[in-house]
Amino acid sequence: MISAQASDTTPAAIDGRARPVVFYDGGCPVCRREIDHYRRIDRTRRLGWVDITRESVRLRSYGLTVEQAMRRFHVLDGYGRWRTGAAAFVEVWSHLPYYRRLASLVRVLRLDRPLEFVYRRWADWRLQRRCSNDRCGVSHE
């Protein structure tokens, strides 16, 4: 299980569960804008935030490599389960005002598969563009 600390990047207990931790690419302008938006509306600090470009030691402490984190969006939920890709976004949304209904709608209508299909294409494009010329140390195999 995850240790609880008071910082913005570490989980604190919420309803007997650890606060979910969001791992994001702070070096990606699109990613950073989206995460900044989520952080602004997370007024009750229900989520912890880890910038994978600035906290590689912290990233490794969760068992993630930079390559894994660059390839897919990762969230460690309050129960210690990994959510990646579209499911990670749904997990984030489920903790944010204004987005909770969207998360519920995705789950009820079972839109996770189509969202994952779109997410994979976007993530591949993002990785290729962001990490071209070996700028982020991720191979493109």
Indicate whether 38 belongs to any domain. Answer: yes
pLDDT of residue 134: 62
Contact of 31 with 24, CB cutoff 8 Å? yes
Indicate whether 140 belongs to any domain. Answer: no
Domain interval for residue 120? 19-128
pLDDT per position as a tens digit, 6-30? 345 444 555 557 899 999 999 999 9
| Total tally of structural domains belonging to the chain | 1
49 burial (CB, 10 Å; 0-12 / 13-18 / 19+) is: buried
Give whole-number Cα distances, 3 to 36, 50, 83, in Å.
25, 15, 19
Nearest to residue 18, comparing CAs of 8, 3, 34, 39? 3
Indicate whether 139 belongs to any domain. Answer: no
- pLDDT tens digit at each of 141 positions of the chain: 333 333 454 445 555 578 999 999 999 999 999 999 999 999 999 999 999 999 989 999 999 999 999 999 999 999 999 999 999 999 999 999 999 999 999 999 999 999 999 999 999 999 988 887 666 655 444
Give the CATH number for residue 43: 3.40.30
Count of other CB atoms within 10 angstroms of residue 61: 12
Q: Are strands 21-24 and 48-51 parallel, antiparallel or unpaired?
A: parallel
Nearest to residue 54, comparing CAs of 25, 84, 74? 25
Indicate whether 8 belongs to any domain. Answer: no
Indicate whether 6 belongs to any domain. Answer: no
